[in-house]
Structure 1
Amino acid sequence: MRLSPSLFFTTNCEPALTFYEQCGLGRGTILLRWGDNDMPLRTEAMRGKVLHARFEGPGVLFHASDNDDAEPMKGSALMLEFDDLTAMRGLFNRMGEAGRITVPLARQVWGTRFGMLVDAFGVQWMFNCPNE
């Protein structure tokens, strides 16, 4: 068994996936669009938006799609665990540029380097590294 979260966007899934790829998180490996090649179409406004995407990187796997009834992400975050503090800082800074840092990267009372941010697409991310 493996947990593979699915991120729901209203209409900006593709720009979010492009952003994650540019940040170095991984790359999209599957992209299906609403209304293309006999794919279903709920509303004409969704034509060409992302019906289903798979995004993969080292230790990263999630799915994503555009859904006109999607709600902002609440009550959860995606946790990225690192062995390399420099790599974590780099990704944290890139992903936080257009977003909002909610917990700056710092050594926490439990002994690890940890930080949180909400990216420009409303997805909450947690970063953790036990190594110095």
Structure 2
Amino acid sequence: MQLSNYLFFTTTCEQALDFYTQCGLGEMTEVSRYGLNGIAPPNAEMHGKVMHARFEGPGVLFYASDNHDAEPMRGSAHILMLDERGQTETLFALMGQGGKVSTPLAVQPWGDFYGKLTDRFGVQWMFNCTDRTAL
């Protein structure tokens, strides 16, 4: 058994996955689109949008799609467990572009370097770095 997250966007799935690729998280390794290969779109606006996608990179695996009836993302977050402070700072800055930082990166009471943000697509991300040598 493996638990994986599934992100639902309304019409910006491909843009979000392209953004995550540019940030260095990984890449879309599988995609099916509405209106192709017999997959009927629920409405005309959804034609060509992502019906199902797999996104993966080193230590990263999740799925995503566009859904005409998707609800705004809330109550859940991806947590990226990192072991290098520099990598954490770089990724946090990249993924925060156009988003909103709710917890700036800082050493937390549990001793790790941690921060939280909501990206420009409404997805919450937590960054936890266990590298204490650089603190």
- Alignment pair present for 1:99 and 2:99: yes
Which runs of 5 or more residues in structure 1 are unaligned? none
Determine the structure 1 residue equivalent to 2:110.
Answer: 110
Residues 42 and 68 of structure 2 are in contact (CA less than 8 Å); yes or no, is this contact kept in structure 1?
no
Distance 2:3 2:60 in 1: 11
Deviation at 1:40, TM superposition (A): 2.6
Question: TM-score when scaled to structure 2?
Answer: 0.95
- Alignment pair present for 1:128 and 2:128: yes
Deviation at 1:41, TM superposition (A): 1.8
CA RMSD of aligned residues (A): 0.7
Determine the structure 2 residue equivalent to 1:8.
Answer: 8
Q: How many residues align?
A: 132
Distance 1:35 1:128 in 2: 40
Residues 27 and 56 of structure 2 are in contact (CA less than 8 Å); yes or no, is this contact kept in structure 1?
yes
**Structure 1 residue runs of 4+, over 4 Å off?**
none
Deviation at 1:110, TM superposition (A): 1.0
Question: TM-score when scaled to structure 1?
Answer: 0.97
Residue correspondence of structure 1 range 31-42 to structure 2 within 5 A? 31-42=31-42
Which runs of 5 or more residues in structure 2 are unaligned? none
